[in-house]
Amino acid sequence: MPENTSQNGHKYTRVWCDGCYDMVHFGHANSLRQAKALGDYLIVGIHTDEEIMKHKGPPVFTAEERYKMVRGIKWVDEVVEGAPYVTTLETLDKHNCDFCVHGDDITLTADGVDTYHLVKSAGRYREVQRTAGVSTTDLVGRMLLLTRNHFKQGCSQFLPTTQKIIQFSDGKSPKQGDRIVYVAGAFDLFHVGHLDFLEKAKEKGDYIIVGLHTDPVVNRYKGTNYPIMNLHERVLSVLACKYVSEVVIGAPYLVTEDLMEHFKVDVVVHGDTPVMPDVDGSDPYEYPKKVGKFVTVKSGNDMTTEKIVERIIRNRLQFENRNIKKEMKELDVLKKLESLDFKQNGHVTSL
Ligand code: CTP
Ligand code: C5P
Quickly list DSSP for 224-277.
TT--SS-HHHHHHHHHTBTT--EEEET--SS--HHHHHHTT-SEEEE-SSPPPP
Residue 315 belongs to some domain of the structure: no
How far lies 319's CA from each of 95, 219, 312, in Å?
A: 33, 25, 7
Distance CA 273, CA 320 (A): 31
Q: Ligand 2, from 299, 302, 305, 310: best to mutate by most atoms within 8 Å of Cβ?
A: 299
How far lies 304's CA from each of 191, 271, 274, in Å?
A: 8, 12, 12
What's the full length of the chain, in residues?
Answer: 351
Domain shared by 121 and 241, yes or no: no
Q: Ligand 1, from 31, 65, 85: best to mutate by most atoms within 8 Å of Cβ?
A: 31
How far lies 235's CA from each of 169, 196, 210, 308, 334, in Å?
A: 10, 18, 9, 19, 34
Q: Ligand 1, from 28, 85, 330: best to mutate by most atoms within 8 Å of Cβ?
A: 28
Domain boundary among 131, 151, 169: 131
Domain shared by 25 and 126, yes or no: yes
Q: Which ligand has its closest atom nearest to the C-alpha of 106?
A: 1
Residue range 86-133, pLDDT digits in tens: 999 999 999 999 999 999 887 887 788 889 999 999 999 999 999 998
Q: Which ligand has its closest atom nearest to the C-alpha of 319?
A: 1
- Supply φ then ψ for residue 252, to 5 degrees: -65, 150
Residue 320 belongs to some domain of the structure: no
User: What is the reported pLDDT for 195?
Assistant: 98
Burial tier of 226 (Cβ tally within 10 Å: 0-12, 13-18, 19+): buried
Show the domain range for 229: 160-305
Q: Which ligand has its closest atom nearest to the C-alpha of 33?
A: 1
User: What is the reported pLDDT for 343?
Assistant: 60
Domain shared by 100 and 190, yes or no: no
User: What is the reported pLDDT for 218?
Assistant: 96
Total structural domains within the chain: 2
Cis peptide before 2 (omega within 30 of 0): no
User: What is the reported pLDDT for 20?
Assistant: 94
Task: Please work out whether the CB of residue 134 comes within 6 Å of at least one atom of ligand 1.
Answer: yes
Element housing 216 (H / E): helix 215-222
Domain shared by 179 and 277, yes or no: yes
Domain shared by 186 and 113, yes or no: no
Task: Please work out whether the CB of residue 269 comes within 6 Å of at least one atom of ligand 1.
Answer: no
Residue 301 belongs to some domain of the structure: yes
pTM of the entire predicted model: 0.90
**CATH of residue 118:** 3.40.50.620
Domain boundary among 113, 131, 149: 131
Give 321 Cα–ligand 1 centroid separation in angstroms: 19
Domain shared by 55 and 192, yes or no: no
Positive or negative CA dihedral for 177, 183, 189, 190?
negative
Domain shared by 109 and 219, yes or no: no
Residue 318 belongs to some domain of the structure: no
The helix/strand/coil state of 184 is strand
Domain shared by 87 and 176, yes or no: no
Distance CA 160, CA 232 (A): 6
Residue 176 belongs to some domain of the structure: yes
Which residues of the chain are under the pLDDT cut of 50? 1-2, 148, 152-153, 348-351
Domain shared by 96 and 173, yes or no: no
Domain shared by 108 and 164, yes or no: no
Instruction: Give me the residues paired with residue 122 across strands.
Output: none
Residue 188 belongs to some domain of the structure: yes
Residues 6+ apart with CB under 8 A from 131: 26, 27, 30, 31, 103, 158
User: What is the reported pLDDT for 341?
Assistant: 62
Residue 331 belongs to some domain of the structure: no
Residue 153 belongs to some domain of the structure: no
User: What is the reported pLDDT for 56?
Assistant: 83
Domain shared by 184 and 69, yes or no: no
Task: Please work out whether the CB of residue 193 comes within 6 Å of at least one atom of ligand 2.
Answer: yes
Domain shared by 122 and 241, yes or no: no
Distance CA 107, CA 70 (A): 19
